[in-house]
């Protein structure tokens, strides 16, 4: 446990961290990568380049300081971080590396504000948090290894099929090279790929499983991340997978992880509303496939937004589901449609997904809401659903990228 004196000292630094948080975390990452370059494999180069990783850590440190007197508030965040760490195979021996560089950065950046007392308090707080995370991560590792078909570490998978879903998204169908069974996973979870990079190192990325559990393969559907400008580079791993990986190739894969998934235990007759934008359809499609198979009596509404049918993945798969399942309603929202995007056989409209559209399509708002997509989409929906009167425990979301505040009282899952 942390001493009461250290708790008070850490909490007293919260205003300073809010002011200097990003300066501190930029310094920290630069310092750590220089002194321990081997840990760079655990981090996304693009997120580092555009600063989202630095902002994410700054927000996390500030939240820890602010809520250190009531750690129950941070329980969901700790579980989220532990799942992320477990997906990347973070080990106890990595924590001293992070701790040494983070504490040194606090001293170097905060200067006179980081007195010996404050420094020692943060060291105590960091050790306490490390222990919480290490224990939770060990639970996840053991659960993944001990379940039927499970494993620990990375396992070789063969690409058995590569299918183009749109101009930007391609699906990879994966089976274990050892031909042994696959574990059950929860619809909405993700796996980790470890991929060699052109510089001779390996790096890791999380990708949502885009099909239902219980099949003899995993499917991931990956968007090619193109360079937007000099500050936002192309995605290294997504382009390697699109251009270099083909059928029969072998990929290293970690077991399914993540705490964003369809909660079947809490189903009490409510409708299921699935909302997706862009590549955010991938975990939502896994949930949709599972729900239509296992809850045929449940009302399901899918609202999917993208620019147009050129970049729209899974159109034929979704339409096939809607023909089979009478309880499923689908609406497409196109922000930049082409002339042939509309036909009389589908429900669709022009614009971006917003609360006005949702309220017009949902007759019974007391439902469970699951959504995933870009940050503006997430922010709009989360705030809009709360303002509409949807209870927080009926709102479930996942954000691609490092954890960033969508709203101060957000309790969804961001990765």
Task: Indicate the class that CATH gives domain 155-257.
Answer: mainly beta
pLDDT of residue 361: 96
In this prediction, residue 78 has a pLDDT band, given cuts at 50, 70 and 90, of: confident
In this prediction, residue 125 has a pLDDT band, given cuts at 50, 70 and 90, of: very high
Question: What is the tens place of the pLDDT at every residue in 286-324?
Answer: 999 999 999 999 999 999 999 998 899 999 999 999 999
15-24, 181-190, 249-258, 341-350: lowest mean pLDDT where? Answer: 341-350
% residues pLDDT > 90 (the chain):
70
pLDDT of residue 345: 65
In this prediction, residue 344 has a pLDDT band, given cuts at 50, 70 and 90, of: low
pLDDT of residue 403: 42
Q: Where in the chain is the domain with CATH 2.40.30.10?
A: 155-257
Q: Where in the chain is the domain with CATH 1.10.490.10?
A: 4-146
Task: Judge whether 253 and 209 are in contact, CB under 8 Å.
Answer: no
Let me know if 126 is a catalytic residue.
Answer: no
CATH domain 4-146 topology: Globin-like (1.10.490)
165-169, 340-344, 368-372: lowest mean pLDDT where? Answer: 340-344
Higher pLDDT, 173 or 406: 173
User: Is pLDDT at 329 greater than 50 in this prediction?
Assistant: yes
Let me know if 173 is a catalytic residue.
Answer: no
What's the predicted TM-score (pTM) here?
A: 0.89
Given 66, 124, 137, 398, the catalytic residue: 137
- Average pLDDT of the residues in 160-171: 96
pLDDT of residue 409: 41
CATH domain 271-414 topology: Rossmann fold (3.40.50)
User: Is pLDDT at 64 greater than 80 in this prediction?
Assistant: yes
**Mean per-residue pLDDT over the chain, rounded:** 90
CA gap 304, 280 in Å, rounded: 9
Given 20, 29, 64, 95, the catalytic residue: 95
Q: Which two tokens stand for residue 26?
A: 């930029």
- Average pLDDT of the residues in 170-190: 97
Q: Which two tokens stand for residue 314?
A: 């899974």
């Amino acid at each position: 446990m942390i001493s009461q004196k250290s708790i008070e000292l850490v909490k007293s630094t919260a205003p300073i961290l809010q002011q200097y948080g990003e300066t501190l975390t930029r310094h920290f990452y630069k310092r750590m990568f220089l002194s321990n370059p081997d840990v760079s494999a655990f981090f996304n180069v693009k997120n580092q380049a555009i600063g989202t990783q630095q902002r994410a850590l700054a927000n996390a440190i500030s939240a820890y300081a602010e809520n250190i007197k009531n750690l129950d508030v941070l329980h969901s965040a700790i579980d989220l971080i532990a799942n992320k760490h477990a997906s990347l195979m973070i080990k106890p021996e990595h924590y001293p590396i992070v701790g040494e560089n983070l504490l040194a950065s606090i001293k170097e950046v905060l200067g006179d504000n980081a007195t010996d007392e404050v420094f020692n308090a943060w060291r105590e707080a960091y050790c306490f948090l490390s222990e919480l995370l290490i224990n939770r991560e060990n639970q996840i590792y053991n659960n993944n290894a001990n379940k039927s078909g499970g494993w620990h570490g990375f396992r070789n998978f063969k690409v058995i099929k590569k299918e183009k879903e749109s101009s930007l998204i391609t699906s990879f169908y994966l089976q274990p090279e050892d031909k042994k069974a696959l574990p059950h996973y929860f619809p909405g979870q993700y796996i980790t790929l470890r991929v060699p990079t052109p510089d001779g190192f390996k790096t890791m990325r999380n990708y949502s499983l885009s099909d239902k559990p219980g099949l003899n393969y995993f499917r991931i559907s990956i968007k090619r991340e193109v360079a937007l400008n000099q500050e936002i580079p192309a995605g290294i791993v997504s382009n390697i997978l699109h251009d270099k990986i083909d059928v029969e190739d072998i990929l290293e894969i970690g077991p399914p992880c993540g705490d964003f998934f369809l909660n079947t235990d809490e189903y009490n007759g409510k409708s299921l509303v699935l909302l997706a934008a862009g590549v955010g359809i991938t975990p939502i499609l896994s949930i949709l496939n599972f729900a239509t198979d296992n809850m045929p009596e449940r009302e399901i509404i899918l609202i999917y937004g993208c620019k147009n049918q050129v970049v729209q993945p899974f159109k034929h798969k979704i339409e096939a589901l809607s023909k089979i399942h009478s309880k499923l309603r689908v609406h497409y929202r196109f922000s930049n449609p082409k002339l042939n995007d509309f036909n009389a056989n589908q429900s669709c409209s022009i614009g971006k997904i917003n609360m006005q559209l949702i309220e017009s399509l949902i007759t019974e708002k007391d439902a469970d809401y699951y959504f995933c997509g870009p940050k503006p989409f997430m922010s709009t929906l989360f705030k809009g659903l709360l303002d509409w009167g949807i209870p927080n425990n009926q709102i479930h979301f996942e954000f691609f990228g490092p954890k960033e505040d969508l709203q101060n009282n957000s309790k969804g899952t961001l990765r």
